[in-house]
Amino acid sequence: MGLREILEFVKIEHTLFSLPFVFIGAEIAGYSAPIELAWILVAAVGARGLAMALNRIIDREIDAENPRTAGRHLASGSMQLSTAWGLSGLFLLMLLVGAWQLNEVALAMSWLPVATFVAYPYMKRITWGCHFWLGLCLGLAPAGAWLGIQGSVLGWAAITEFHWYPTIFWICLGVMFWIAAFDLNYALMDIESDRENGICSFPARFGEQHTLRTSIQLTLLWFACFAIADPIDDITFLVAAALMCCVNIGVILSQKRLVDFQKTFFYTSVATGWVLLGGLMIA
């Protein structure tokens, strides 16, 4: 299997969701040497790849029943299960090595994202709250980057003495709501399949209209979280958050009029993190 197939398997383009918040977490942590940023990036890419690989492995039978996902590598049989497990091991190694090179606290806490990744595919089998769990998975990204730097400075006190509160806490909570809002709308594509196969998505449980309202409410919530967190108490980060909040709501409200709502909302959601990062870096 070539590099292209591997990148398609782990949906490498979805890394664009978490990457800006990784950098935001590192920026909030303060000065970091280039080598620290490099190891943070290694750990982040490993975590993202591991999350997607585990999701594909655990969901392979469900994917095969859904016309939209039946062509995925494991569901279609174009990739062997052993290969997928091998890639999972490689990504896990990247996460652990990256954390190990940063500090012992980051390494000791690396079990937490792994546990959330393993749990997520099962959450969608039991509760429509799975969208928030996915948000939690990505919400750990800024916290991990922050700990990768502050863990070297403060040791375990970075966690036990609550140095992560309030700024990192509110940033992570904002990311959780932001991803949940995106995933609610993403799940609109699979309403009928989810109902037929017993998948507990929010749209399948409550319908399109409630999904629309809830995703707008979640968008307002993530803006509130970022506004409260305002890591440098500067207007540029707040303006960036307000701008992207308005853009996201505008796209959600226009979904019936857009030629390809899912693609438009995907690019809007990707842009959100990068605009926020830009607002933080400009200040």
Q: What is the pTM of this model?
A: 0.94
> How many Å is the Cα radius of gyration of the chain?
19
Structural domain boundaries enclosing 11: 3-282
Here the tokens at position 46 are: 């490993």
Long-range contacts of 69-72 (CB under 8 A, 24+ apart): 69/190
Q: How far apart are the two ends of the chain, measured CA to CA in Å?
A: 45
State the average pLDDT over residues 247-275: 94
Measured N-to-C along each axis, helices 15-29 and 130-154 cross at an angle, to the nearest 10 degrees, of: 30
Gap between the Cα atoms of 245 and 228, Å rounded: 14
CATH code (residue 43): 1.10.357.140
Q: Note the pLDDT tens digit of each residue in 170-201.
A: 999 999 999 999 999 999 999 998 998 889 99
The 3-state DSSP class for residue 201 equals coil
In this predicted structure, the answer to whether residue 95 has a pLDDT above a threshold of 90 is: yes
Q: How many domains does the chain have?
A: 1
Q: Which candidate, 18, 276, 23, places its Cα nearest to that of 145?
A: 23
